[in-house]
Structures are given as C-alpha cells and as structure tokens.
Structure 1
Amino acid sequence: MSLRIDAVILAGGQARRMGGQDKGLVELLGKPMIEHAITRIQPQVKEILINANRNQNLYAQFADCVFGDEDSGFLGPLAGMVTAMGKTQADLLLVVPCDCPCLPTDLVARMAAALEAEAADLAVASDGEYEQPVVMLLKPSLRDSMKAFLAAGERKIDFWYAKHKVAVVSFADQPNAFVNVNTPEQVEQLSKALTQ
C-alpha cells in the first residue's frame, strides 16, 4: 500500500521585505511565484493545498483547497501548518514556502525515503550547509504537538521540530534548490540567473 502525500504551500505571511506585496503572487519570469513552486511539486504529491491569509480568491485558481490560518494575527508558518494538518486526509504532508521557485523535483522521494529509513516523525531539507525549516515532510498526527507549541506562545519552527525525531535530508547536490525570494531585488537577481 502506498502512502498518500499531500502538499501545503505556505503563502500566509505579511511579506514585509517585499514591500507588503503578496510574495506568492509576485511575478518571476512572467508567472506568479507560487506557480513555479506548484510546477515543481505537483507531480510529486496527490493534492496541493495553499495557506494564504489574503488574496484567497486569486490563489483559488491554483488549488481547490485554499485557507487562512485558524488563528488570526499572522502567527507565522506554524499556524499555516497546523491548519493544513487539520485539512488533509494524507498520511504525510509536504510543507514548502511559496517563495522557493526552484524546489527539487525529487524532494518527496528523498524525504519520504529518509523518513522511513530513520523511522522519524518528520524530515527537514538541508542545502548541505543549512537546514531549511519550512521545507519538511511530516505526519499530520503531529498536529496536537504543534498546536500546543503555538498555544504556549512559541513560534520558531526549529524549536518545535527539535522535540521530535527528525531526519535531515541533504540536497547538497542541488545547491540552488532552496533559493528563496524575499525582496524585489532578489526577484530581479533570480530572473537574471534563470535566463542566463
């Protein structure tokens, strides 16, 4: 029996460094940033969910399930993850940010293999040097743990996952896979790099 794996794309932040523009909808090479992420992960999962706290009507063109955080107030990525875990029927949930347009096309396969091999609760991607805490594959059954962590006023993802058995998966062979775009200047730089 194969496991069902869904993905949630986190697009729920305030994007302060992007001048308040909704990062997932900022264009990169003529397409919204979120569309690049979807193109990379869609073949790897059963269903894509989008966590967005604004512009949900615009995001609805990209996924059937678009939702805001259960708790209002822009509490960070964990709030979107908690909500997504309550909406999926999957055995595993892939979490990725909307501002990573170059995600690995073998992300799920490698993370699922590590999760199983290490009998871990979640797998976190690494670029070979740094962990990428908002790129993870986790069991939706961790929802109660994450909810309790948030209820205690905590917000740092890596502090939460340190409480669980974690498989760190290196993608050092794809050093640009987790380039994320936070400013208009970075959009321009990445556009140039991708067209060279």
Structure 2
Amino acid sequence: MTLSGAVLAGGKGERMLSQDKGLMLYQSVPMALLVARVLRDVASVVFLNANRNLDSYGALGFDVVSDGPDYQNKGPLSGLLACLVFANTSHLLISPCDTPCISRDAFVRLEEASKVFPDRIQYLADGFGGHPLHAILPVESSLACLKRFLDKGERYSVMAFYEAFGCDSVLWDKSEELLNVNTPDLLS
C-alpha cells in the first residue's frame, strides 16, 4: 500500500462568512496547514485541494490542486475527484481543512482498516455519526466509480457515493478531534 494525503479546502466557506476556512487561523496557524502537517506524519505525499486563494495555499508549502472544469460545483465530491486524479499512490487519505484537532492516530486507524479491506472506502465515525470526509480510498477504483457516479448527476452526496462504491465506518471515540470549525466563534 502506498499512501498520499489530501486536505479538502475547496469549499465556499458560507458558514464562515464566505472566508476561506482553510486559511483561517486556529491557535495562530492556518487550519489547512494544521491538518496537512498531521497527514504528513502518515502519508508519503500531501497536497491541498483549493479553488480560491491559490497563492496563499501554495505558500503553505504543499502542492495545490483545484477542481476540474468538468466536475465543478458538486460539493465535496468535486474536490475528492480532483484529489483522486492527482494522487499517484494506491490509496488516498482525505481530511477536511476545518478539523484542526485531528490526530495522526486517527489517520493511522484508517490506514489499518484499509489494510484489512483495501478495496473498500473506510471513513471515521464516532458516537454522534459518520465523518465521511475523514476517509481512505483506493485510488484507481474510486476514481473510476466517482466519475460514473457524477456523470449520472442524480445526487452529489459523499455518503451516497461511498455506499455505491462499498464502504465501512471506522469507530473513532475521540470526538473532540473531529471538531468541525465552520463558524467564526469556534476559532481560538
């Protein structure tokens, strides 16, 4: 298994007053950078998915990949597709930029689950529900399936795609690490 990691920072930041969430500071550090650093502890290559402020994201020291023109405006699946296209490994770890408390151990747990079932998507879940944007995906088969899924144009739900592909939830009982910082009052 070879592993790359991607930080999903391509959203519009609507709940963050249209500010670019990944560049917002959490404990004085851009959130996307905090997540990328943790991914770098597990993956051999780490990159960012962003669709605006590309120079600012590039200044964080990672390659930046934007959503492809044929698959834009399909929510997180647009970013996921761009990341799968860019990944040059057997598997891809993904994480949203707005979870700056995520740990290396959470990603290691996903990697371990993927080694048991390498042909399925594994995503984190806690006692409050699933966290599908913390996941590991087999690159080649996921890419082919996601293109077909998006071309159908029925739904652009991450979980609907995962269920169509085949997935398993991986219990992560440290819910505090999955804190989703998507409003200004949660920044500290």
Given that 1:40 and 1:102 are in contact with CA atoms closer than 8 Å, whether structure 2 keeps it comes out as no
The CA deviation at 1:119 is 4.9
Given that 1:12 and 1:74 are in contact with CA atoms closer than 8 Å, whether structure 2 keeps it comes out as no
**Amino acid of the residue matched to residue 165 of structure 1?**
G
CA spacing shift, 1:21–1:167, aligned 2, 3 Å: same
Residue of structure 2 equivalent to 1:65: 63
> What stretches of structure 2 of length at least 5 have no aligned partner?
none
Given that 2:126 and 2:175 are in contact with CA atoms closer than 8 Å, whether structure 1 keeps it comes out as yes
When the two structures are superposed, what TM-score results if normalisation uses the length of structure 2? 0.92
Given that 1:48 and 1:63 are in contact with CA atoms closer than 8 Å, whether structure 2 keeps it comes out as no
CA deviation vs aligned residue, 1:94-137 (integer Å, no higher than 9, x gap): 01000000112112321122123245411011123311011110
When the two structures are superposed, what TM-score results if normalisation uses the length of structure 1? 0.88
Counterparts of 1:101-116 in structure 2, within 5 Å, are: 101-116=100-115
The CA deviation at 1:73 is 4.2
Residue of structure 1 equivalent to 2:145: 145
**Amino acid of the residue matched to residue 137 of structure 1?**
I
SS in 2 for 1:38: helix
Given that 1:95 and 1:136 are in contact with CA atoms closer than 8 Å, whether structure 2 keeps it comes out as yes
Moved segments of 4+, more than 6 Å: none
**Amino acid of the residue matched to residue 24 of structure 2?**
V
Report which stretch shifted further, 131-140 or 61-70.
Answer: 61-70
Q: Does residue 1:163 correspond to 2:164, yes or no?
A: yes
Residue of structure 1 equivalent to 2:27: 29
Residue of structure 2 equivalent to 1:52: 50
Query: Counterparts of 1:58 and 1:32 in 2: how far apart (Å)?
Result: 10
Residue of structure 2 equivalent to 1:194: none
SS in 1 for 2:41: helix
> What stretches of structure 1 of length at least 5 have no aligned partner?
192-196
Residue of structure 2 equivalent to 1:177: 177
CA RMSD of aligned residues (A): 1.5
How many pairs align?
A: 185
Q: Report sequence identity in percent.
A: 28
Given that 1:51 and 1:69 are in contact with CA atoms closer than 8 Å, whether structure 2 keeps it comes out as yes
**Amino acid of the residue matched to residue 184 of structure 2?**
P
CA deviation vs aligned residue, 1:145-181 (integer Å, no higher than 9, x gap): 1111112222100001011231211111x12111011
SS in 1 for 2:133: strand
SS in 1 for 2:147: helix
Residue of structure 1 equivalent to 2:78: 79
Query: Counterparts of 2:25 and 2:87 in 1: how far apart (Å)?
Result: 28
CA spacing shift, 1:4–1:93, aligned 2, 3 Å: same
Given that 1:8 and 1:95 are in contact with CA atoms closer than 8 Å, whether structure 2 keeps it comes out as yes
**Amino acid of the residue matched to residue 138 of structure 2?**
K
